[in-house]
Amino acid sequence: MKTTRLRQHAGILALAMTSLMLAQAQAAQEGQALLESKCVGCHIPEGGDAISRISHQRKTPEGWLMSIARMQLMHGLNIADDERRTLVKYLADKQGLAPDETEGVRYAMERRLNTVETFDEQLSQTCGRCHSGARVALQRRPAKEWEHLVHFHLGQWPSLEYQAQARDRDWLDLALAEMVPELAKRYPLDSQAWSEWQKARPEAKVLLGQWAFSGHMLAKGDVRGVMTVSADTGDTFKVEVNGQYADGTPFVGGGSAILYNGYEWRGNVKIGDTRMRQVFAALNGEMKGRMFDAEHDERGLDFSAAQQGQARLLAVQPAYVRAGSEVELTLVGSGLQGSAQLGAGLEVVKVLEATPTQVRLRVKAAATAAPGRRSVVLGDLGGVDLAVYKDIAEVKVVPAFSIARVGENGGSTPKVQGRFEAEAWGRDDEGQPYRIGYLPAKWSVQPFDERAREDEDVKFAGQMQKDGVFVPGAAGPNPQRKMMTNNAGNLKVIAELEEGGQKGEGQLIVTVQRWNNPPLP
């Protein structure tokens, strides 16, 4: 009877995979037809299936979505929403980026808007004055296309030459003579990475099944559980999420997802009453990226998952233990089995639960356990660290620099919160610093400088909550402020650890609404 059930399950899975592959082939045909019917009116056929401008670019799904939306807004392209989705899918599959080409700049797709970029001065001054450098780094063009892009910018925004960091130099000549060759060299249309990825790109069917996941949301804490992926109609997946936060709060819901270019996972799920988006890189039996509130992308969690059948250790939660204490630790992963080895001075008192996706342990740390980070081993699996500490040497506010935005007050633009955690650091026996992890803290704000003190920014900019979430003030002029200015402010964020009382500081800029909020900032 068991054999019969296994055969039935295998048959259902094979049918789902076949249906998925047929849907993908049909979507590709529909995409090519839409390209010819919607784009050829302005873009000139160049032979084969090549079309002027379009065929000489490669972008992420978000990049292609922005291009098509611009054609709608500025050039009158008439395209229905479902047609636009089909065309984005087709272009992102055919002319996307290889995984190696998105490395280091995925934060733009994942909506990590507090990221401080580290591009060179040339790119930062030429391109990064108006948008992120990551938007540039997430596209590929030959030199002629980069030149077209410079002229497009100048034609679309004629005042560009007179903006900051452009008035004191011959901006256009510098952009054409220096920046275009550099961009063509740094971000070329043809690359070995893209050529190799096209050959090795896996089928979407490999993602079907269960995924053990772990994550962390600022101001909320660790989360873990299982995500189930099943085939849906068309070129989408059904997604079911069953997990919980470390404090026991459920993390349960479901929705749908689509895969672009063999690894770019984009999901829309509802967790409880919150609609969340998933932006993951799905590669080699792992998914990594970020989930965030669809209405408040500052409310997001880091996400890492391993597929059933892949034996991997993803995380230990919490990732720290104090010497001389007894705590409960949870090992999260897929295919978990065997005994846990936590290093000298740490004893597993009791195994509270052991499943293929999580192992809960009662652990006692000796008072003499050496401070520092050590590798955690479960059976044959490793790859995660546990911090042991005696004293806290330093506290860092994470993020160290953040932006919040006023909003609402009868308007349609929501407030953008600031969200913070206190990151404790210690020193090992050799005096080397090491990260302990996020510890509970008391939160407050102060004026960042004398100007902020004079303008009473603490009074007007918003309120810091007990959980490290800063809620900004209302939008619009404030009659109570000097010259009726808005509720902007420059604040110092202070974390005081509940354990030990050590303090750390960060900076929060409270500013006005973002009226133009594209998929790639």
Is 354 a residue whose pLDDT tops 90? yes
Instruction: Look at residue 6 and tell me whether its pLDDT is greater than 50.
Output: no
In the chain, the amino acid numbered 127 is C
Q: Which residues of 444-476 are buried (b: 16+ CB within 10 A; e: fewer)?
A: ebebbeeebeebebbebbbebeeebbbebbbbb
How many Å apart are CA 251 and CA 269, to the nearest integer? 11
Q: How confident is the model at residue 448 (pLDDT cuts 50, 70, 90)?
A: very high
pLDDT of 125: 86
Residue 333, class by beta-carbon neighbours within 10 Å (0-12 exposed, 13-18 middle, 19+ buried)? Answer: buried
Count of residues for the chain?
521
d(CA 68, CA 87): 9
**What gap in Å lies between CA 213 and CA 241, rounded to an integer?**
10
CA-based diameter of the chain, in Å?
81
* pLDDT of the residue at 23: 59
pLDDT at 163: 73
Token pair in block for residue 372: 């520092």
pLDDT at residue 12 tops 50: no
Give the residue from 280, 282, 287, 293 showing the smallest Cα distance to 218. 293
Q: What is the pLDDT of residue 370?
A: 97
For residue 10, the one-letter residue type is A
**Burial degree of 177 (CB within 10 A; 0-12, 13-18, 19+):** exposed
Is residue 303 within 8 A of residue 215, CB to CB? The reply is yes
Per cent of the chain over pLDDT 90 is 83
Q: Are strands 503-511 and 401-405 parallel, antiparallel or unpaired?
A: parallel
The two tokens of residue 274 are 């919150």
Would you say 268 and 254 are in contact if contact means Cβ atoms under 8 Å apart?
A: no
Which helix H or strand E contains 136, and what residues bound it?
Answer: helix 133-137
Model pLDDT for residues 54-69, shown as the tens digit of each residue? 999 999 999 999 999 9
Candidate from 3-7, 135-139, 208-212, 508-512 with smallest mean pLDDT: 3-7
Tell me the percentage of the chain whose pLDDT exceeds 70: 95
Q: Which of 112, 111, 60 is nearest to 89 (CA)?
A: 60
3-state class percentages of the chain: helix first, strand second, coil last, to nearest 5? 30, 35, 35
DSSP 12-41: HHHHHHHHHHHHHHHHHHHHHHHHHHHTTT
In the predicted structure, residue 13 carries a pLDDT above the cut 90:
no
pLDDT, tens digit (0-9, with 9 covering 90-100), for 72-123: 999 999 999 999 999 999 999 999 999 999 999 999 999 999 999 999 999 9
**Cα dist. 243→45, 210, 293, 397 in Å?**
50, 13, 17, 28
Closest CA to 252 of 218, 224, 210, 233: 224
The predicted-structure confidence for 156-173, as pLDDT tens digits, reads as follows 888 877 776 677 778 888
pLDDT tens per residue across span 261-293: 999 999 999 999 999 999 999 999 999 999 999
> What's the confidence (pLDDT) of residue 361?
98
pLDDT computed for residue 384 by the predictor: 97
Q: How far is 504 from 506, CA to CA, in rounded Å?
A: 7
pLDDT band at 16 (very low <50, low <70, confident <90, very high): very low
Average pLDDT, stretch 308-332? 97
Q: How confident is the model at residue 29 (pLDDT cuts 50, 70, 90)?
A: confident
Predicted local distance difference test score (pLDDT) of residue 171: 82
Band the pLDDT of 26: cuts 50, 70, 90.
confident
Q: In whole angstroms, what is the distance from residue 254 CA to residue 38 CA? A: 34
Among the listed ranges 34-38, 168-172, 213-217, 376-380, which one has the minimum average pLDDT value? Answer: 168-172
Dump pLDDT digits (tens) for 323-352. 999 999 999 999 999 999 999 999 999 999
For 185-221, how does the pLDDT look when each residue is reduced to its tens digit (9 = 90+)? 999 999 999 999 999 999 889 999 999 999 999 999 9
Quick: pLDDT tens for 139-152: 999 999 999 999 99
DSSP SS3 for 360: strand
Task: Provide the mean pLDDT of the chain.
Answer: 93
Confidence (pLDDT) at 408: 85
